[in-house]
Amino acid sequence: MTTWPILSVLIWLPCLGAILVLLAGNARPRLARWLSLAFTVITFAISLWMLFQYHEGPGGFQMQEKLRWIPGINTSYHLGVDGIAVALIVLTAFVSILVVAGAWEVIKDRVHQYMAAMLVLDGLLIGVFCAMDALLFYLFFEAILIPMFFLIGAWGGPRRVYATLKFFIYTFFGSIFYLIGLLYMYHRAGTFDLPTLWNFPFTMQEQSWLFFSFLIAFAVKTPMVPVHTWLPDAHVEAPTGGSVILAAIMLKVGTYGFIRFSLPILPDASQHFAWLIIVLSLIAIIYIGYVALVQPDMKKLVAYSSIAHMGFVTLGMFIVYMLARQLHDIQMAQLGVQGAVVQMISHGFVSGALFTCIGVMYDRLHTREISAYGGLAKVMPWFAAFWVLFAMANTGLPGTSGFVGEFMVILSSFTANPWIALFAAYSLIIGAGYTLWLIKRIVWGTAPTQKAASMPEINTREGLVLGAFAVAVLAMGVWPWPLMHLMDSSVAQLVTHLMTSKV
């Protein structure tokens, strides 16, 4: 146990930073930028400290903080992290720095507000990953919508009003069902405390209803087919930083919800409806892959590719029931869950990097049309090298992070059912198809216009941001062991928990 509330600091420090940045005001953008950078860097440093404080061996939830919050309804401010949460928090803090650095001189208008929104997002997202109380989780889960709403609404593209409304209503719609489910759980168990709920014996019928109420919320957030259509629109209209946070972190909130709620609280319903999630995941991988192939807009293409990649996450999570409960192969079940989480982290890096790349191009030519670009290899050779690297990571090339999770999920799903693995492995082809076709059109060939031929090479700041992403992508691809080791006990505990039926 640490003596100071490290998790609370991680959540509220960026929020405090946001207030200071707001106080800096519109007149002093330089101060706002440096202040934001300082706060994100300090937050990241503390998250690393937390990483070293965490003991992988025993696993479980550590660094817990519990304060009475609203005693009347038996809810508490309960924080704690296991290996999965630690990994996601470090990812959040890391990406936040890059988002602030990436927006540096790109955002000219109301810098302080933009930076403050980013800092608030940073803190709230960390809050989601720490929360061990269902109501607290819900609070953070909903609260992240607000800064995101402003980010898209204020700094977004021409159709930002449509996109923000769609984004907000869509996700809020999902949350309503989630809230109802939450209240029902409280009604039955008398508490919002997650550890209690994990062990609470809900009946099969209750579990089924709750499963769908949670599914709607998390499926929208993840997003899963068919409730994914808000994502391409939101991405297209969002500013670069918003897209990066959205793709890299916010999508993980949905799948994290599955890990914290659906899987452990409703193991029997999850088992019963696993086939549905598996089918939806496979549809996401193949169907969305084809949709991504024909997108004329780069951001939409990468957004669709995100949906397809999240398909691997949900697949890895729900394949676990076939493996653990029907085949009693705990080893493979762990491989699947572990693969799903690795894919979450990896997708954070890769999609963040890809949206940053698109942002770099958008800053120069102010269009996201693929056909407006070409011959980057000649115009901006260093930038082109980054593009090719991240694109390869997106296709799951070994040696990059994109490979690890997909490989693990495909391996484990083969044991569950070879046909599932076959459809999942189809992403090797379709993923290469849409990503490399994009590369063929923008990186290779020749520039279509004089303007596209005279784009300046990335500057040092952009190089550093992309370089940081590149280091993360390569390090995780070459040596994923530390990440797996971090989560191994937690995943094993989760799988053991799932094994026992509640009914």
Does the protein bind another protein through residue 392 (CB under 8 A)? yes
Does the protein bind another protein through residue 168 (CB under 8 A)? no
Span near another protein by CB under 8 A; candidates 54-62, 103-111, 423-431, 454-462: 423-431
- Distance in angstroms (rounded) separating the CA atoms of residues 280 and 312: 10
3-state SS assignment for residue 455? coil
Half-sphere exposure of 166 (CA within 13 A, CB side): 17
* Contact assessment for residue 229 and residue 258, using Cβ atoms and an 8 Å cutoff: no
Least distance between another protein and beta carbon 446 (Å): 5
- Distance in angstroms (rounded) separating the CA atoms of residues 431 and 311: 12
Complex with another protein: residue 200 or 444, whichever CB lies closer: 444
Instruction: Dihedral sign for Cα 492, 56, 336, 170, please.
Output: positive
Span near another protein by CB under 8 A; candidates 75-83, 147-155, 237-245, 427-435: 427-435
Instruction: Enumerate residues 6+ apart whose C-beta is below 8 A from 209.
Output: 181, 184
Least distance between another protein and beta carbon 373 (Å): 14
Least distance between another protein and beta carbon 166 (Å): 7
Which one among 37, 146, 436, 464 touches another protein, defined by CB under 8 A?
A: 436
Does the protein bind another protein through residue 491 (CB under 8 A)? yes
Which one among 393, 443, 465, 476 touches another protein, defined by CB under 8 A?
A: 443
3-state SS assignment for residue 131? strand
- Distance in angstroms (rounded) separating the CA atoms of residues 96 and 116: 12
- Distance in angstroms (rounded) separating the CA atoms of residues 131 and 193: 10
Least distance between another protein and beta carbon 192 (Å): 28
Does the protein bind another protein through residue 275 (CB under 8 A)? no
Which one among 320, 377, 379, 476 touches another protein, defined by CB under 8 A?
A: 377
Does the protein bind another protein through residue 326 (CB under 8 A)? no
Complex with another protein: residue 136 or 438, whichever CB lies closer: 438
Residue 326 carries which side chain, given as an amino acid letter?
Q
Does the protein bind another protein through residue 375 (CB under 8 A)? yes
Does the protein bind another protein through residue 67 (CB under 8 A)? no
Complex with another protein: residue 161 or 428, whichever CB lies closer: 428
- Distance in angstroms (rounded) separating the CA atoms of residues 314 and 326: 18
Does the protein bind another protein through residue 408 (CB under 8 A)? yes
What is the token pair recorded at 234? 């939101």
Burial of 403 (0-12, 13-18, 19+ CB in 10 A): buried
Least distance between another protein and beta carbon 413 (Å): 8
Question: Angle CA(319)–CA(320)–CA(325) in degrees, nearest 5?
Answer: 115
Does the protein bind another protein through residue 444 (CB under 8 A)? yes
3-state SS assignment for residue 70? strand
- Distance in angstroms (rounded) separating the CA atoms of residues 348 and 256: 13
Which one among 411, 464, 474, 475 touches another protein, defined by CB under 8 A?
A: 411
Taking alpha carbons only, the member of 234, 269, 52 closest to residue 156 is 234
Complex with another protein: residue 191 or 415, whichever CB lies closer: 415
Half-sphere exposure of 273 (CA within 13 A, CB side): 20
Does the protein bind another protein through residue 229 (CB under 8 A)? yes
Does the protein bind another protein through residue 123 (CB under 8 A)? no
Complex with another protein: residue 290 or 451, whichever CB lies closer: 290
Does the protein bind another protein through residue 470 (CB under 8 A)? no
Complex with another protein: residue 21 or 310, whichever CB lies closer: 310
Distances (CA, A) of 22 to 15, 18, 323: 11, 6, 51
Does the protein bind another protein through residue 257 (CB under 8 A)? no
Does the protein bind another protein through residue 414 (CB under 8 A)? yes
- Distance in angstroms (rounded) separating the CA atoms of residues 235 and 301: 10
Span near another protein by CB under 8 A; candidates 9-17, 244-252, 270-278, 485-493: 485-493
Does the protein bind another protein through residue 484 (CB under 8 A)? yes
Least distance between another protein and beta carbon 188 (Å): 19
Does the protein bind another protein through residue 243 (CB under 8 A)? no
* Contact assessment for residue 434 and residue 382, using Cβ atoms and an 8 Å cutoff: no
Q: Which helix (H) or strand (E) holds 64?
A: strand 62-70
Complex with another protein: residue 12 or 444, whichever CB lies closer: 444
Ordered DSSP codes for 189-244:
HS--BHHHHHT----HHHHHHHHHHHHHHHHHHTT-TTS-THHHHHHHHS-HHHHH
- Residues of this chain that bind another protein (CB under 8 A): 166, 169-170, 225-230, 287, 290-295, 330-331, 334-335, 338, 375, 377-378, 388, 392, 395, 397-399, 403-404, 407-408, 410-411, 413-415, 418-419, 421-422, 425-426, 428-430, 432-433, 436-437, 440, 443-446, 479-481, 484-485, 488, 491-492
